[in-house]
Structures are given as structure tokens and as C-alpha cells.
Amino acid sequence: MTEQAPAPTDKPAPKGPPPRVFSGMQPSGTLHLGNYMGALKTWVDLVDESRRTGLDCIFCIVDQHAITVDYDVKELRAKVVDAAVCYLAAGIDPAQCTLFVQSHVPQHTELAWYFNTIMPMGELGRMTQFKEKSEQHRQSVSTGLFTYPLLMAADILLYRATIVPVGEDQVQHLEFSREVARKFNGRFTPKRARPTFPEPAPRLSATPRIMGLDGMHKMSKSRGNEIGLLEEDASIRKKLKGAFTDPQRMRRDDPGRPEICNIYTMHRAVSPPALVEEVQRSCTSASWGCGDCKEALGNNLSAHLTPIRLKAKELTAKPEQVHDTLADGARRCRAIAEETMREVRDRMGLVPAKG
Ligand code: AQP
């Protein structure tokens, strides 16, 4: 008699937990349009997506990264709250995701230390951001600035996150985080066991690199070349007037190259698709001058950012509410982090304290 194949069942295959998203920003200054268009807008999209898909979104204010360069103690305190206000005002809904401050979860630095012990210095020395920032802060380059990518790897891997929404400048650090995961798994994960860490991948926005108004460097909190996320319309319009555009557009009727123009890139982030097309056409045909593109951008930035600015004003008036949100987030993150760390310590051979 032949054996019968088991009857198919209607039961769906067992599903794992939904993927986890993790990202953070430094409270090193006022968030700017680069942070927003390169990363924060994607966070908001992912939170919206999580309503349908169950994605678990965790967002962090990475204050321990911000202290790797010279900073003002009093200002840092205020900037942490300002960053939380920006996240919330931009549309990060705390009922739908987790928001917390890095230093409220001590396991980040613990895991970073363990990663210090497994990654060779040569790999850290190759990091472009370290080279640029050590140039920028030449008077004192801290060891923390050098080991920054290890803490960033710990931030992500502590939560076993696989989706990391960041701007283009962070892609190299993400590749490094994957290398850390592979190294740790290779050395400490027992054969046939589930890897300790999954490999995280970047999620880039459609505008992953926003240049500064100077056209020389990416828009940055520390270079003074930025437009602030909460800046007033009049100030934004004034800054746009002086913003660097396509250097080949010397005269009004020179056709432009939108693909290399930062003004066009910003249009792509905030303007309706029909207007983006119009800007593209009018720039290449020279029917619009740079001033026209800038004026249209000023109008669309105003429409896009005014509600964010108003919401931020409301939240700034209720700091207790913001602190409560951060405290709830830290509570949840400490629990997740400790679960990971128990496994990490065990796999690395560290003996737990009795009791
Ligand atoms: N210009 C940019 N274009 C696109 N994305 C950007 N990001 C930063 N600048 C741009 C993205 O914003 C997120 C938060 O960055 P961060 O605060 O952690 O560090 P950063 O990249 O060093 O930002 P800044 O503004 O340049 O800060 P400072 O001047 O203090 O170093 C990241 O996802 C980043 O990719």
C-alpha cells in the first residue's frame, strides 16, 4: 500500500514577528530640510505603512552620538526635547511607534563595547564620515568620533532591526553594521542556531542627499548651510534667494540641468508631481529662471511646513507630554534590549551575576 500524502491544511504557515524599523538622529542642532527630506519623511511613511503591515517602528534621539564632538551641556538638554518635538510635529505618531532617547537605554553602550572587541580598527579608519568630521573638528578628534559606527551598529542590532531609513551619507555605516552582524554571528552564534543578529538594510527616500545652501557640502546642522525644519517662511524665502543652483546657468535664458540642481531636488520632496514636472520642463527650456523655481519652492515649502511648525509650537508648550512619550518609549526599549543582551552575554561567554 502506498502511503498517502498528508491532506493539505488551511492553516497558514507560522509567521515570524513583523519586521522592525530602527533609525535615529543626533540632537546636535535644529533639524533641517536635509534631515527631513532624507530621513524623517521616510520615517513618517513607514509609521503610516505600519498601520497596514504591523511593522514595528522604533525611533531614537541619539544623544550619545551627539557628544562625540564638542558641545554645550545646557544646549544639549534643550536640543533633545527639540528633536522629539520635530519628530512628533512631522507626523511620528507615538501611538503607532516607539520613540526614545538613546542614553535612557544603557544597553546601547554595552553592546557597542562588545562590538569594539570584535571589529578591527582598520575598518573604522575607512569611514568617510569620520574623515570628514575629523577634518571639520580638527582641534579635538575624540575616540568616540572614531568608534561612532560601532555605537550605530549597536543601536540597530540591539533591536534586531532590518529596515533602517537613513540619508545617503549613512549608507556606508549601514554596510559596516552588516559586517558587524556577520562577524558576531560567525564567531559567537552556535552552529544550527538562529543567527544572533539579522543584517539590516538601508531604506532611502527619493531625495537621499540634500545639498546645503552653499552647494559645497551636504546640508548639515554643524555647517551653517541649512534651512531649519521649523524656520519661518520669510526666512526660508530669503535663504532660497541666495541658494546655490546649477553653475552653468549664468544668464536668464541659459537652459538648466534639474538633475544636478538642489532646488529641483527639494521640489521633488515637497511639491505636487505636476509642479515637479513643470519645474523640470521650464528649467531645461529656460522658460523659468532660477528665481521662478525658487519662488515656487518657497510657496510649496510654506504649504508643507506650516502645519509642522504649528504642531511644534503646540508641543513645545507641553514639554511634560513629550517627556512622558519618551519615558514610555525607553521603558519598552529597555525590555527589548535586555532580552537581546542576555543572549549576547551568554553567547560571548560572560557569566551572569547570581540571582
Ligand atoms: N543633507 C542631507 N540629505 C539627506 N539626508 C541627510 N541626513 C543628514 N543630512 C542629510 C540624514 O538625516 C539623518 C540624521 O542625521 P544625524 O543627525 O544623525 O547625523 P548627520 O548625518 O551627521 O546630520 P547632520 O545634519 O550633518 O548633523 P551634524 O552636522 O551634527 O553632523 C540621517 O539618516 C542622515 O543620513
Give 20's strand partners.
Answer: 56
Active-site residue among 183, 218, 239, 311?
218
Closest ligand 1 atom, CA of 35?
12
Distance 43 CA to ligand 1 centre (A): 14
The predicted structure's pLDDT at residue 3: 46
Q: Among 142, 156, 170, which residue has the most ligand 1 atoms within 8 Å of its CB, making it the best to mutate?
A: 170
Q: Which set of grid coordinates corresponds to residue 17?
A: 514577528
Closest ligand 1 atom, CA of 29?
30
79 annotated active-site: no
The predicted structure's pLDDT at residue 253: 81
Contacts 24+ apart (CB under 8 A), 264-268: 264/293, 265/37, 265/207, 265/209, 265/210, 265/211, 266/33, 266/37, 266/207, 266/210, 266/297, 266/301, 267/293, 267/296, 267/297, 267/300, 268/206, 268/207
**CA distances, 330 to each of 65, 99, 148, 321 (Å):** 17, 7, 21, 14
Closest ligand 1 atom, CA of 218?
1
Closest ligand 1 atom, CA of 207?
4
Distance 135 CA to ligand 1 centre (A): 17
Q: Tell me whether residue 350 is exposed, middle or buried, using C-beta atoms within 10 angstroms of its C-beta: 0 to 12, 13 to 18, 19 or more.
A: exposed
The residue type at 98 = T
The predicted structure's pLDDT at residue 30: 87
Q: Which set of grid coordinates corresponds to residue 354?
A: 547570581
Q: Which set of grid coordinates corresponds to residue 239?
A: 535663504
CA-wise closest residue to 123 among 65, 200, 183: 183
221 annotated active-site: yes
CA distance 316 to 154: 31
Q: Among 25, 151, 166, which residue has the most ligand 1 atoms within 8 Å of its CB, making it the best to mutate?
A: 25
The correct CATH number of 20-210+319-347 out of 1.20.210.10, 3.40.50.620, 3.30.70.1140, 3.30.365.10 is 3.40.50.620
Q: Which set of grid coordinates corresponds to residue 285?
A: 527650456
The predicted structure's pLDDT at residue 9: 54
Residue 148: strand, helix, or coil:
helix
Q: Where are the alpha helices (DSSP H) in the chain?
A: 33-35, 41-53, 63-66, 73-90, 107-116, 121-125, 128-136, 143-146, 148-157, 171-188, 233-241, 262-270, 273-284, 290-316, 319-347
User: What residues does each domain of the chain span?
Assistant: 20-210+319-347, 233-316
Active-site residue among 11, 79, 183, 221?
221
The predicted structure's pLDDT at residue 281: 95
Q: Annotate 267-295 with DSSP letters as a single string.
A: HHHHS-HHHHHHHHHHHHTTSS-HHHHHH
158 contacts 108 by C-beta, under 8 angstroms: yes
Q: Among 21, 22, 23, 26, which residue has the most ligand 1 atoms within 8 Å of its CB, making it the best to mutate?
A: 26
CB neighbourhood size of 222 (10 A): 15
Contacts of 21 (CB under 8 A, 6+ apart): 43, 46, 50, 55, 56, 57, 58, 161, 163, 164, 165, 203
The CATH superfamily assigned to 233-316 is Tyrosyl-Transfer RNA Synthetase (1.10.240.10)
Nearest protein CA to atom 21 of ligand 1, as residue: 169
Nearest protein CA to atom 35 of ligand 1, as residue: 167
Contacts of 177 (CB under 8 A, 6+ apart): 149, 152, 153, 156, 157, 164, 200
Active-site residue among 41, 79, 133, 294?
133
Distance 110 CA to ligand 1 centre (A): 24
Closest ligand 1 atom, CA of 219?
1
Distance 222 CA to ligand 1 centre (A): 10
Query: Which one-letter DSSP state was computed for residue 39?
Result: I
Q: Which set of grid coordinates corresponds to residue 329?
A: 518609549
pLDDT 10s digit of each residue in the chain, 355 long?
A: 444 444 555 666 567 889 999 999 999 988 999 999 999 999 999 999 999 999 999 999 999 999 999 999 999 999 999 999 999 999 999 999 999 999 999 999 999 999 999 999 999 999 999 999 998 888 889 999 999 999 999 999 999 999 999 999 999 999 999 999 999 999 999 999 999 999 999 999 999 999 999 999 999 988 899 999 999 999 999 999 999 998 888 787 888 899 999 999 999 999 999 999 999 999 999 999 899 999 999 999 999 999 999 999 999 999 999 999 999 999 999 999 999 999 999 999 999 999 7
With a Cβ cut-off of 6 Å, ligand 1 is lined by: 25-26, 28-29, 34-35, 38-39, 166-167, 169-170, 208-210, 218-222
CA 302 to mean position of chain CA atoms: 23
15 annotated active-site: no
Contacts of 233 (CB under 8 A, 6+ apart): 298, 301, 302, 305, 306
Q: Which set of grid coordinates corresponds to residue 268?
A: 521633488
Beta strands in 177-263 (DSSP E): 201-203
Query: Which one-letter DSSP state was computed for residue 32?
Result: B
